[in-house]
């Protein structure tokens, strides 16, 4: 088996765990890039009802903390780690 030291394999889930994917991410990618790539792959909604971007965050399941967007994947995550993507999103009748 060939091991690629430039990438890391992680598993990502959505909030409910219904959407799940595994993928290889470059170690030197930022968490922000990780969220973009995995979110696109999982078809996560990028905009809210008004067309404004939805902010997604990555929770490191093993450490139980939210990853900072500027962290490097290779520094923050280990091989086969799991992350959970969580949005900051509003319900209600905004504009009322």
Partner 1 sequence: MNTHDYRLRILKEGRVPVGEPVTLSLRGPLQRGVEALHWRSFINGNGALGESIRLSPRWSERGAPLVDAVAVEAGASALALPAKTLFARAARIETARLVDAGVLESGAGYGFVVTADASADFQTIPVFHLHDYPVTDADQPVGGTEADSAFADSRDHAVFIDPLVVDDALRLADEAGDSETGGVLFGILQRDPAGKVFLRVTHLCPAVGGKGERSSFTFTPQTWSIAQDVLSARAAEEMMVGSFHTHPDFCKNCEPERQKVCSMRQPFFSDEDVSLHESVFPAAYSVGLLASHDGGGYATSLWGWRDGFISRRSYLTNL
Residues lying near partner 1 in the complex (CB under 8 A)? 14-21, 41-45, 47-51, 54, 57, 59, 64, 66, 84, 86-96
Residue 34: CB minimum distance to partner 1, A? 15
Give the HSE-up count for residue 89: Cα atoms under 13 Å, Cβ half-sphere.
16
Please, are residues 9 and 24 in contact by the beta-carbon 8 Å criterion?
Answer: yes
Please, are residues 71 and 31 in contact by the beta-carbon 8 Å criterion?
Answer: yes
Enter the tokens of residue 90: 């509003």
* Cβ proximity to partner 1, 27 vs 36, nearer residue: 36
* Cβ proximity to partner 1, 27 vs 69, nearer residue: 69
* Cβ proximity to partner 1, 28 vs 45, nearer residue: 45
């Amino acid at each position: 088996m060939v091991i690629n030291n430039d990438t890391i394999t992680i598993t990502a889930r959505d909030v409910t765990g219904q959407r799940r994917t595994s993928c290889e991410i470059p170690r030197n990618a930022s968490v922000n890039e990780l969220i973009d790539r995995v979110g696109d792959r999982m078809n996560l909604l990028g905009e809210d009802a008004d067309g404004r971007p939805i902010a997604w965050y990555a929770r490191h399941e093993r450490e139980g903390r939210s990853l900072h967007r500027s962290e490097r994947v290779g520094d923050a995550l280990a091989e086969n780690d799991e992350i959970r993507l969580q949005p900051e999103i509003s319900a209600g009748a905004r504009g009322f």
